[in-house]
Amino acid sequence: MPEEIVEARASLNYARIAPRKVKIVADLVRGKNVDEALATIKFTPKASAEILEKLLKSAIANAENNHHMDRSKLYISEIYANQGPTLKRIRPAAKGSAFRIRKRTSHITIVLRERV
């Protein structure tokens, strides 16, 4: 009988940032240990870094408190940002016309597992 894989996750829905901007930082930290990932995020000058740092800390807290996992063994097994609903706004333009502004949102998820 295979052993159940324990994982801790944290997700943020409807984050007001485009998923393509989140994926840049997410690709940097995928597969890294949590302490190394936190250090990488801390010094990444991107808007999504602040959001991902907070979400990663939440996932770590979930792992330690809810699943009794060892922080030193934790790594990011999955991190992804999916497209959320787009807020559509209108900006006036010349000659009575208008431009559509699309304010994109993201659903971001982080899954942590312990290294064997």
Residue 35 lies inside a defined structural domain of this protein: yes
Residue 90 lies inside a defined structural domain of this protein: yes
Domain residue limits at 77:
7-114
Structural domains counted in the chain: 1
Residue 92 lies inside a defined structural domain of this protein: yes
Nearest to 74 by CA among 61, 89, 87, 91: 61
pTM of the model: 0.89
Residue 2 lies inside a defined structural domain of this protein: no
Nearest to 76 by CA among 93, 89, 57: 57
Token pair recorded at residue 29? 């930290």
Four-residue CA torsion sign, 40, 42, 47, 50:
positive
Calculate helix-pair angle for 47-66, 34-42, nearest 10 degrees. 160
CATH of the domain at 99: 3.90.470.10
- In sequence order, what are the beta bridge partners of 33? 75
How confident is the model over 4-59, as pLDDT tens digits?
778 999 999 999 999 999 999 999 999 999 999 999 999 999 999 999 999 999 99
Q: For position 1, what pLDDT does the model report?
A: 63
Residue 1 lies inside a defined structural domain of this protein: no
Residue 39 lies inside a defined structural domain of this protein: yes
